[in-house]
Structure 1
Amino acid sequence: MKNLLQNEKNNFDEILFQGRNKDYGAYVIRAEYSQTITKAMFAGIALFAAVAVTPLLINAFKAPVEVPAERGTEHILKRIEIPQDPPEKEPEIVKPVVPLKPAENTVKIEIPTPVRNAVKETPAPKQSVIKDSKIGHENIVGTTPATTYTPPAEVGPVEVIAPPATVPIEKPKPVDNTPKTTVDVSADFIGGINAFRNKVVSNFDTSAMDGIGELVKTTVMFIVERDGTISDIKASGPNPTFNREAERTIRSVKGKWTPAKLDGENVRSYFKFPISMQFE
């Protein structure tokens, strides 16, 4: 089968390179391809075997080197006994010492039972003996308990400690938010009142006043707030149209004011701004 495939390949190469130079080039490479592959395979196997055997040969011819043992390096094993902790002793229970109670006078009272032909009769003890004694089952001579009275200690005058004085808590002052008419420092437009007047004139719509042909006046009053804004804009003049346009113009002016000051603090204040214009 292999020879058949080789013959077909050779026939194909002959047909492919017919009429061409076959002494060199691709024809020679294709013709010697099988031999080249076989030689390369054996060369690779030989190279791999040489690399694998080389360490074994080196170890076989390498003589072992004896290293003399150093003196004083011997290890001596000793038996080490670890002392054990002595067993814990149970805590001794200490019994409380109860003082001996002194003996008290005790009298035994025997009431004779009436019997026929009584052999012995024990008379009852006298009342004087029973008075300072304890009733018991036998007679015991003891010490009479002494009754002592300890008067209470005299108590001196009681010192009354007054409670600490209450520190008065200062209540915060109520904030006066009413607009002021009298102040220490008047409110002013940032940039000057002339700059404010020029903005009013440039923003005023004169077309609303066509046909009047006279001098029109009004006074616009507004409140300058603590933050520099204005509010409550009202114009008071004889011409309602002129008043409305004046209010709109002042409301449209961009910019802030420096608030008025009273006692060193910023306050709300009224500001009056007169406006007069001549229309032809």
Structure 2
Amino acid sequence: MSKLNINKNEWLELVFEGKNKEYGAYKLRQEDGKTTMKAFFSALALMAGLAALPMILSSFDKPKVVEPIDPDCVLRTVDVKFQPNIKQPKSQTAVANTAPKAPVQFATPVVVKREDATPTEIPTNADLPTTPSTNTSTTGTGTETGGNTGGTVTDPGPEVDPTAILPSVGLERNPNFPGGIAEFLRIVGNKFEAPSIDEEKTVKVIVYFVVERDGSLTNITVPRSPGYGLDKEAIRVLKSIKTKWEPGIYKGKPVRTSYSLPIVVKMQ
């Protein structure tokens, strides 16, 4: 096998014989060896510079000066006694265990179809039985004493605005329907006309109203309508009931009281 070196000038002259040697390819082939050597040494110089860069940068840092220890300085150990942490006893307060009062729950009226409901005659205030009141007086014998008895007088507080609407909580007596709230719910369920739809569905309607001082119902509203016209029907039913309630009592006087009534409607 013969050894041929195509980079020799003889081969270069042979290849470019009769051609334009001023063209760039001839010049590049002629200086190929020099270009390769320059690239090789340039790469070596770059690698050497990168390797020496940390040492060059560290030479600019100031040397750390370690101060010598004074020979006259004497180090001594001191025993320090720490006081143990004393936990303060927590003060125990006696708390009376009082059983929570059971919340009063009212039955929710269920609305059915008109043909399934039993007719109910709604009593008026004139038809309700009245209980005659008998006033008895007792005459006591003894000696009348005047002056300060030393007792504590309880301030009844400011008078309640007769136009103010009070919540049921805190009243001396809550408003009530003659015959009980169950009777009122039964009347509402019998008078309510539920709409007919293609599918069976149960909807809850919450009605808010005010029991006035004379027992009548005002401000009947349904803030959140469930649709199907149930809000208007609920308002109509409550307005149609003419029997008056017993008003709420606060400080011995009838007051306007806010009330809410949930109605469950089963539509078919």
- Would you call these one fold, judging by a TM-score over 0.5? no
Q: Decide which structure has the larger Cα Rg and report it.
A: 1
Q: State the TM-score, normalizing by the size of structure 2.
A: 0.37
Q: Which structure carries more relative contact order (alpha carbon 8 Å, separation 6+)?
A: 2
Quick check: which one's helix share is greater? 1
Q: State the TM-score, normalizing by the size of structure 1.
A: 0.36
